[in-house]
Amino acid sequence: MACSLHVAWDDGLTAYDFGPEHPLNPVRVELTMALARETGVLDAPGVAFTPVEPASDELLKLIHEPSYIEAVKKAGQTLEPDEAYYLGTPDNPVFPNMHDAAALVSGASVAAARAVWSGAAPHAVNIAGGLHHAMPGHAWGFCVYNDASLAIAWLLEQGAKRVAYVDVDVHHGDGVQAMFYDDPRVMTISLHESPLTLFPGTGRPAETGGPGAEGYSVNVALPAGTDDARWLRAFDAIVPPLLREFQPEVLVTQHGADAHALDPLAHLMLSMDGQRRIGAELHRLAQETAGGRWVVLGGGGYELVQVVPRAWTHLLAEACGAELDPEAATPDAWRRFVRERTDDVPPLYMTDGRTAEFTPFEAGFDPADPVDQAIQATRRAVFPSQGIDPSL
């Protein structure tokens, strides 16, 4: 079914650029938008573009410390590192006009949230967003400002009483968790590679929320090597029961594409087909539990040509009800554009040709299986706080 989707977009969103040698190259966003155009997704019925303005200082102060905002502005002008705020590190190099670029990304996520909260559209997306590591007082993990947290904080300012955030990036959504750890109005759910093997080293099942918010921070720490079937089994065992119980007014999701097997910075083994199914499952849950109100953000993903553009084009297609044929070839015009912009060979097809199926956890628990152990650890840690029996 076709549905209304607002896309928060401005060409300036590609100015969030740490330099050509940095893994978070904005060409991945440029290639995504190009592929979405060439496949007709952005011309689908009900798709509209939402104007974007940079987040003001007052807006950024909903989640970030004033001194940090000033430090970002200064670093973007002087191009000098500021160790106190983790600016100028290998992960977070300073670059010209850094504040302006980061504020525009944050403004785009707030624009997406505004479109959904106002009723202008049931779904809205900022594909350049999802910078989920930034902390209140410092940069962290390629993230200067935390646009995901800002969108949530803005929704709370408008009167939202229950906002759910589901993060499927391979890295733990530590910044978003930290900002709402003590707030029972926000349920954060992160499925990520185990902190034993991947940055940022947090996201254990025992991280369940602060006093008065126990059970509202949910972490599923998956072992390296987890594939489509095991990842989807974990998702199905954790996310739907919690969202059905919580009944959010808005569902905010972060869709880092770095859980794919080709990603150079992580160790999970998902396929394009598995990632495509994740988007479909979250769309279904937005319809079922949040009245269809769905704010969609990008995130990580460092295989810039083979993975990110296809994963996010499928996500955009899912959000607007213009589902793409998984067996379709990538458009010739897009392949030419890829060769013009990069030295890489473009993928020939829109998916990896896999079947993303799984066996539900309820069909039987294998105590020797590390993924089942991770599922059980999370269910035991948070389900009782939500009134759900972890054994069911």
* Active site amino acids: 133
Nearest one of 281, 352, 275, 270 to 314, comparing CA atoms: 275
Phi and psi angles of residue 111, each rounded to the nearest 5 degrees, phi first: -60, -40
Q: What share of the chain is helix, strand, coil (3-state, %, to 5)?
A: 40, 15, 45
Contact 155, 149 (CB under 8 A): no
Give the integer Cα–Cα distance in Å for 24 and 140.
13
DSSP H or E segment with residue 244: helix 228-246
Give the integer Cα–Cα distance in Å for 39 and 41.
6
Write the CA distances from 20 to 24, 61, 103, 226, 341, integer angstroms. 9, 30, 21, 30, 12
Contacts 24+ apart (CB under 8 A), 117-121: 117/155, 117/158, 117/160, 117/250, 117/293, 120/6, 120/50, 121/4, 121/5, 121/6, 121/48, 121/50
Phi and psi angles of residue 226, each rounded to the nearest 5 degrees, phi first: -60, 130
